[in-house]
Amino acid sequence: MMFLLITIGNERYGIDVSHVVKVIPPVAVKEIPCTPDYISGLLNFHGHPIPVIDINYLYVQQPVSIYLGSRIIVVDLMHSKKEEGAESILLGILAEGVTEAIHIDQKSLVNSGIDMTDRSFVNRVVMNDKEIIQLVNLANLVPDQWKSKILQANTLLADEVLDQ
């Protein structure tokens, strides 16, 4: 399996590249009023607005610093349900330290040992000689109480754009 490595705070995390649609440099996004601070705004992605979250702010309450390795990672949250005919739900993830993709043997994946009852965005880890890399569970990345609000804001803006 291939994972795109990112940094959140001082820790390394991996995102399964099979969910990644595109990795782009940080660009200006349209702010959405009355949303949580971790929502950066909406990105015009090939003529379609998609929500962008600041993954640093979401989990360590510090905004992403824009460095050379900072990127917006566009992911398809429904990738694993494609065989069931589910439509794509795109989300942009603003992250730091997006510097490499690595191959991880599935045999080296282990449970973190911390059961958060499906509430944690981290479910498995990989241990190597230098560090523990935590793997991001995209299904649990955004807290449940905000998932529908993010998707609703995306739909409302898309309708507004289509009406113009």
pLDDT score at 115:
60
The first and second tokens of residue 101, run together, are: 């993709």
Would you give per-residue pLDDT tens digits along the chain (164 residues)? 899 999 988 888 899 999 999 999 999 899 888 888 888 999 999 988 899 999 999 888 899 988 888 999 999 887 665 556 567 788 999 999 998 898 888 777 777 666 655 556 666 778 777 788 888 888 777 666 666 665 565 555 444 443 43
Per-residue pLDDT at 116: 53
Q: List, as one string, the DSSP characters of 22-91.
A: EEE-----B--TT--TTEEEEEEETTEEEEEEEHHHHHHSSPPP--TT-EEEEEETTGGGGGGTPPP-EE
In the prediction, which pLDDT does 161 show? Answer: 41
Q: What integer pLDDT is reported at residue 75 of this predicted model?
A: 93
Give the separation between CA 32 and CA 155, rounded to whole angstroms.
Answer: 13
State the residue for tokens 């090939």. 46
Of 34, 124, 150, 15, nearest to 72 by C-alpha is 15
**What's the rounded Cα separation, in Å, for the pair 142 and 35?**
13
Task: List the domain boundaries for the chain.
Answer: 2-163
Rounded to an integer, what is the distance from CA 110 to the centroid of its chain?
21
For domain 2-163, which architecture applies?
Beta Barrel (2.40)
